A and B are shown apart, each in its own frame.
Chain A
């Protein structure tokens, strides 16, 4: 299983560590080299420094070989663009995109992308906890 993760913030780094521990091949992309400091020794994948909205950067991360692409930067527009490129240009089977704004999530979902909104996910979890 080969996973490409775009964005190595708090969410991306955690995702990368978990996937790496789970025995997957992982490549993380971030435009800021310092972002990789969040990765612990448990992460054993590759790091690519570069702007993911540039297709060359995506290519150097071998995105066309990926089984899963997770676009989880803090920029909704970048996530959407990368997700679309991954799905339509590089033919990746499973593409996940993070969207911060729940209103945008609707629109993105209509484009046929698997969209996850942290705010909605957290609201659901907290709501479930309250009703328990």
Chain B
């Protein structure tokens, strides 16, 4: 009986925190009304945002009140996972309401757009040409919020005693400062500053203010929603492309690494494994794509631009494009595929397997070889540079990365099989699901409003799993199921 009471209080506390996060989502919904400043003629669309915002706020307030009745409780890491899982799910459902209520999309496509937004993927089933600007701004805002992480945005504003659970549950394993609240604060500050800088550069590059803000929000969050059908390709400007490449790289870099760099510690920056891996990949893939793919297709100048832009967009899991991939060779598609699977830095806004894990596993191969040729009694200290200090890698840490890698590839295989079953070619299925699972958003064009329902749901699942990094979802579901089970049996 006592145990049941404990579980009841624990879940009330969890619900209370979800409520706080939802209040933030309501605020975000209202923020998209800012588009009315520039486009006052879109005022008739305002209710589609005000009503969902009210619904979200009411739910949030009720949840918070429920949470308050539980009193003070300490939540563990697993409970943080449940909070993150619940609030992301609710946020995605509620964020789909504007698209659905306005009749712009049916419920499935509206949800797809919202999931693609919050997970910073950028796959879209919306025709951006005919969509009112206010909805375009809402998509960009979702990516901005999703990029930083719902919990991080909230953490910087409020501090709970359960902060660390939330922080880690959302896929942040590295802290910048020895306090979660300060870390979250610094992340938000870095993030907002870069976004503002990006918007200014875009305006300088010739974009309208509205486009500049939208693209900056989506480039830094490595989201990739655009206000144009042809994405960045619409502007056909080297300046805009280079700006985007820089923003994408910034977005896909670990925030802890940013922090080190902004503090002027260049040595620690260049010692970082992720930075080295990303640089190596770029140095290898850009010339390869230039020679093998781009030069036969485009003029020399265009080829140079394409082979810089597309690999970076794939690696950083952003998903902006300047060209169509229809005439790309299979080799070129495969190169992008590899980059999409690897993805960005850990503790960044990007998705994928993450450079850190790939680097760690590559490093472990070297360690393994070294152990084999050393005397049997030799003692090795395996370390990598993380932030400003050495991090000693034990086998548990390696095991975790290995398990993640395996789980990622398994999920990828299952997703590809489902897409194949929907009748798409192997090339299209491999590419499109890697794009969804890695929250990239590059498309060979098969993600469309009239695509089979099964495929859209599969991609949604892929995006969701990819953003929240599997383990959080799996562990939270297991622990929630156990709590429900034990509270039933003890009744």
Which of B74, B77, B179 lies in contact with A25, CB distance below 8 A? Answer: B179
Interface residues of A in 12-41 (CB under 8 A from B): 20-21, 23-27, 40-41
> By the criterion CB–CB under 8 Å, are A41 and B164 in contact?
yes
CB pair B182 A41 closer than 8 Å: no
Q: Does any Cβ of A come within 8 Å of B377's Cβ? A: no
CB contact list, A29-75 vs B, under 8 A: 40-46, 60
Report chain B residues within 8 Å CB of A42: 74, 161-162, 164
B159-215 contacts to A (CB < 8 Å) = 159, 161-165, 167, 175, 177-182
- When the two chains form their complex, are residues B389 and A44 in contact, meaning their CB atoms are under 8 A apart? no
Indicate if A2 sits at the interface (CB-CB under 8 A): yes
In the bound complex, residues from chain A placing their C-beta under 8 Å from that of B477 are none
Does the CB pair B74–A60 fall under 8 Å?
no
Q: In the assembled complex, how far is the CB of residue A60 from the closest CB belonging to chain B, in whole angstroms? A: 6
Q: A44, B74: Cβ atoms under 8 Å?
A: no
Contacting B75 at CB < 8 Å: which of A23, A25, A41, A44?
A41
Contact B179 A60 (CB under 8 A): no
Chain A residue with the shortest CB-CB distance to B77: A41
Report the interface size class on chain A: 10 to 19
Chain B residue with Cβ nearest A49: B392
B89 at the interface (CB under 8 A from A): no
B76 CB–A CB distance under 8 Å: yes
Residues of B close to A20: CB separation below 8 A: 179
Whether A45 and B178, one on each chain, are in contact in the complex, defined by CB atoms closer than 8 angstroms, is yes
B83 to chain A, nearest CB (A): 12
A43 to B77 Cα, complex, angstroms: 12
Give the B interface residue count (CB, 8 A). 20
**Cα distance A81–B162 when bound, in Å?**
35
**Is B159 a contact of A41 with CB atoms below 8 Å?**
no
Contact B389 A25 (CB under 8 A): no
Contact A26 B76 (CB under 8 A): no
Give the CA-CA distance A21 to B77 in the complex, in Å: 16
A-B interface pairs (CB < 8 A), number: 42
Q: Are A44 and B76 in contact (CB under 8 A)?
A: no
User: How many angstroms from the CA of A27 to the CA of B389 in the assembled complex?
Assistant: 14
Pair A45/B179 contact, Cβ less than 8 Å: yes
Minimum CB–CB distance for B181 against chain A, Å: 6
Bound form: Cα–Cα A25–B181 in Å: 9
Contacting pair B74 A40 (CB below 8 A): yes
Q: Is B77 a contact partner of A44 (Cβ separation < 8 A)?
A: no
The 8 A CB mask of B59-101 against A (1 = contact, 0 = none) is: 0000000000000001111001000000000000000000000
Query: Which residues in B have their C-beta under 8 angstroms from that of A27?
Result: 178
Q: How far is the CA of A20 from the CA of B183 in the complex (A)?
A: 13
Cα of A23 to Cα of B155 in the assembled complex, Å: 12
**A2–B74 touching, CB < 8 Å:** no
Q: Collect the chain A residues with CB atoms within 8 Å of residue B75's CB.
A: 41
Contacts of B165 in A (CB 8 A): 41
Distance in angstroms between the alpha carbons of A44 and B184 in the assembled complex: 12
Name the CB-closest residue of B to A16: B178
Question: Do A46 and B74 touch across chains, with their CB atoms under 8 A apart?
Answer: no
Whether B178 lies near A46 (C-beta < 8 A) is yes
Of A26, A41, A60, which is within 8 A of B178 by CB? A26
- In the complex, what residues of A have CB within 8 A of residue B162's CB? 41-42
Q: How far is the CA of A24 from the CA of B182 in the complex (A)?
A: 9
Q: List 29 A-B contacts (CB under 8 A).
A: A20-B179, A21-B161, A23-B179, A23-B181, A24-B179, A25-B177, A25-B178, A25-B179, A26-B178, A26-B179, A27-B178, A41-B75, A41-B77, A41-B80, A41-B164, A42-B74, A42-B162, A43-B164, A44-B163, A44-B164, A44-B167, A44-B175, A44-B178, A44-B180, A44-B181, A45-B178, A46-B175, A46-B178, A60-B389
The 5 closest A-B pairs by CB, nearest first: A44-B180, A45-B178, A44-B164, A46-B178, A25-B178
Known: A41-B74, A41-B80. 15 other contacts (CB 8 A): A23-B179, A23-B181, A23-B182, A25-B178, A26-B179, A27-B178, A41-B76, A41-B77, A41-B164, A42-B164, A44-B163, A44-B178, A44-B181, A45-B178, A46-B178
